[in-house]
């Protein structure tokens, strides 16, 4: 019970009635909490269908669903802080590939997970969709091999009109 109170005290976004939505990229919005099952390997998956950023050249908006899956170690990301962090990309100019890699690197810095993957399914602009995928497995662990294997075999089948 005491650890729950300490945990709640370190999470400033969850339960806040005065939520502020940053519109400039801000990784400091991310908050973590302790994994209560560090001895178990399990996936946590976030589907984020309302991601928006800007093209760094034209300033045109880009829209995507961002999929984040990770195997936690000691820390986990708090979901409201993740939502606010992703929202902070709203006026941020970066290419799709850069956004996805930034998200992954910021989450690694926050949690140091055993494994993480981030996949962006961006809506087409100019008739082309760009769907970058990146992943990471903790060095020196079985998850490093899992990361290589998943990357090597990721999305090996070409897109069809009916599977977007």
Which residue, among 20, 23, 30, 29, has the nearest Cα to 92 in the 3D structure?
23
Matching residue, tokens 């290419």: 95
Q: Which residues are known to be catalytic?
A: 55, 62
CA neighbor of 101 nearest in space, from 27, 23, 29? 27
pLDDT in tens, 105-140: 999 999 999 999 999 999 998 888 899 999 999 999
Task: Give yes or no for a contact between 120 and 96, defined as CB atoms under 8 angstroms apart.
Answer: yes
Where are the domains positioned within the chain?
25-153
Per residue in 20-31, is it b (16+ CB within 10 Å) or e — as a string?
Answer: eeeeebeeebbb
Does the domain at 25-153 match CATH 3.30.1130.10? Answer given as: yes
pTM comes to 0.86
pLDDT digits (tens, 9 = 90+) for 10-58: 776 555 667 777 778 999 999 999 999 999 999 999 999 999 999 999 9
d(C-alpha 23, C-alpha 86), whole Å: 9
Mean pLDDT across the stretch 131-156?
93
The two structure tokens encoding residue 111: 């949690």
């Amino acid at each position: 019970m005491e650890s729950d109170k300490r945990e709640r005290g370190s999470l400033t976004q969850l339960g806040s009635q005065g939520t502020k939505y940053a519109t400039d990229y801000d990784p400091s919005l991310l908050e973590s909490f302790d994994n209560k099952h560090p001895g178990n390997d399990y996936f946590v998956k976030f589907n984020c269908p309302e991601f928006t950023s800007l093209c760094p050249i034209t300033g045109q908006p880009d829209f995507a669903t961002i999929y984040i899956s990770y195997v936690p170690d000691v820390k986990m990301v708090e979901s409201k802080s993740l939502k606010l962090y992703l929202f902070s990309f709203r006026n941020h100019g970066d290419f799709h590939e850069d956004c996805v890699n930034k998200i992954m690197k910021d989450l690694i810095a926050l949690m140091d997970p055993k494994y993480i993957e981030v996949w962006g399914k961006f809506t087409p602009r100019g008739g082309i969709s760009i769907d970058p995928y990146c992943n990471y497995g903790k060095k020196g662990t079985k998850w490093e091999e899992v990361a290589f294997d998943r990357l090597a075999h990721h999305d090996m089948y070409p897109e069809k009109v009916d599977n977007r």
